[in-house]
Amino acid sequence: MSFPSTLNGPGRDEPGQEFSLQWRSSRHARRLLTLGLAALFIATVARRPEFAGLAAPALLLLAAGRSQHRPPRVSLGARPTTRRAFEGELVAIDVLIEGQGGCSVRWILHPGHEIEPVGPTAADGPQARFTFSPQRWGRRPIGTLDVVLRDRWRLAEGHLTVNLPTLDCYPAPAQQRTQVVLSRLPNRLGEHAARTFGEGIEFAGVREYVPGDRQRSINWPASTRRGRLQVNTFAAERSQDVVLLVDGTSDVGEPGSSALDLALRGAAAAARAYLDARDRVGVITYRWGAVGWLGPGLGRRQVYRIIDAMLASERGGAGPAGVASGTSMHRLPRAALPPGALVVVFSPLLDQRFVETLRDMRERGFTMLVVDVLNADPPVRLRMPSRGGLGGSSPRANTDRMARRIWQMEQEAIRFSLRELGVPVVRWDGISSLDLPLARYTRRPLIASGSRR
């Protein structure tokens, strides 16, 4: 049994990798051989020369085909159009073979798990392009590629199977355009209008003129009414620290729309929305036994760093930042969870230890907002007619419904207790925009912990 070799995707100008070919007779050759041998055998046994003539074309083809050149090794290159793609995005891989001589080449793509081919999976020629679409986030092997070389007479086939490179598939970000802004912002230049006066562009009020004020800020209508010079005041523009807390302990629901899928998509959307508003965004991924983190940062590349950190944490790695063992937030450095930061939590709230961690963080003074991504209920057996009568239900189904109801009440109790602590909990179905559940909190600043209400 031979295992397929792994093909690393070379760059644009890099040569391909060398692979050995296994040549063997083609089906066509075996059929011709059968015809030739059967006809010769019958010609000998039956002593009928016309059967020797019947064997002639097949045997001649086989004899002439032996002189064909068959390369023992070929050079193979594969170049995906990208190594990172979002769910559902179109990606193509170009494959190229060299050193095949006059042999014809056929490519057959066997796509990997959660890789959906777009278009045909077989092609002919020395180079080919296959288009596909990754369906779910994670590090996905593109698949395997069968390469079949046929000599000019098509009597021998060289077979080669290679593993194509892997693709980092990012969760497709959900839609979010608005941001939740804290009422108390750090003294750092940004785009959010703060409650303090400053040099922003948002009108904040009118006050009496004092020496040193700029003349262009005088509000002449107000000055005329009051009889004294009045100047406009503006709100200061500040940025905030946002930490996305992703709960990776529970992954319930159907693959593709599970709680973890929704959490990652929501976190990616939130990262983009806050980074677009010039906020510093970091991420903390909470899972069994360890907490991975990436400190808040600025810029477009931070989106990719955040998604990389989340995916690395899901794979059990450290990612680009750090990992703190245990499940306590106390061990996190100050850089990972800055004081005064807005913490946006994406969780199905199924793990009791995670809920306790949220309570603990709230008691430590963090302003938090929980996005509930639970979109699955425990299964209930179908209603079965009871033996005694019509239209009844079996005791098992009743028990299931009762258990489900108790479970739902427990979930409601968890959410109620968080709300009582001052932690808003909003439910997101993963389909609609995140702006809808967050609308109540994006219209006005969220009261930061420790602020006067």
Partner 1 sequence: MTRFLGPVRLGPFVIGPVDTRAAAIRAAAILLGAGCVVWATVPPVHKGLANLALILAICGVAGGALRLILAGVPVPEDAFLLPAPTQVWLRFLGILRQVPWEEGAVIGLVWLEVLHPSRPWHTAILGAALVAYLLATHLAESNAGPGTLRPQVRVLAVGAGLLALGAGAGMLPATGPGAGAALLRLVAAVALIAAAALVLPYVARRE
Residues in contact with partner 1 by the rule CB under 8 A: 26-28, 30-32, 34-35, 38-40, 42-44, 46-61, 63-64, 66-67, 81-82, 84-86, 88-92, 94, 104, 106, 110, 119-120, 122-125, 127-129, 131, 150, 152-154, 172-173, 175
User: 90 or 406, CB closer to partner 1?
Assistant: 90
CB of 8 to partner 1, least distance (A): 21
> Which of 44, 196 has the CB closer to partner 1?
44
Least Å distance between CB 89 and partner 1? 6
Cβ distance to partner 1 smaller for residue 176 or 285: 176
Rounded least distance, CB 115 to partner 1, Å: 11
SS3 per residue for the chain: CCCCEECCCCCCCCCCEEEECEEEECHHHHHHHHHHHHHHHHHHHHCCHHHHHHHHHHHHHHHHHCCCCCCCEEEEEEEECCCEEECCCCEEEEEEEECCCCCEEEEEEEECCCEEECCCCEEECCEEEEEEEECCCEEEECEEEEEEEECCCCCEEEEEEEECCEEEEECCCCCCCCCCCECCCCCCEEEEEEEEEEEEEEEEEEEECCCCCCHHHECHHHHHHHCCCEEEEEEEEECCEEEEEEECCCCCCCCCCCHHHHHHHHHHHHHHHHHHCCCEEEEEEEECCEEEEEEEECCCHHHHHHHHHHHHHHCCCCCCCEEEECCCHHHCCCCCCCCCCEEEEEECCCCHHHHHHHHHHHHCCCEEEEEECCCCCCCCCCCCCCCCCCCCCCHHHHHHHHHHHHHHHHHHHHHHHHHHCCCCEEECCCCCCCHHHHHHHHCCCECCCCCCC
Task: Provide, rounded to whole angstroms, the least separation between the CB of residue 127 and partner 1.
Answer: 6
Closer residue to partner 1 in complex, CB, 37/409: 37
Q: Toward partner 1, which CB reaches closer, 1 or 210? A: 1
- Identity of the residue, 33 or 229, whose beta carbon is nearer to partner 1 in the bound complex: 33
Least distance from partner 1 to the Cβ atom of residue 122, Å: 7
Least distance in angstroms from the C-beta of 128 to partner 1? 5
- Closest CB 173 distance from partner 1, rounded Å: 7
**Closest CB to partner 1 among 299 and 395?**
299
Q: How far is the CB of 182 from partner 1 (least distance, A)?
A: 26
Nearer to partner 1, 152 or 225 (CB): 152
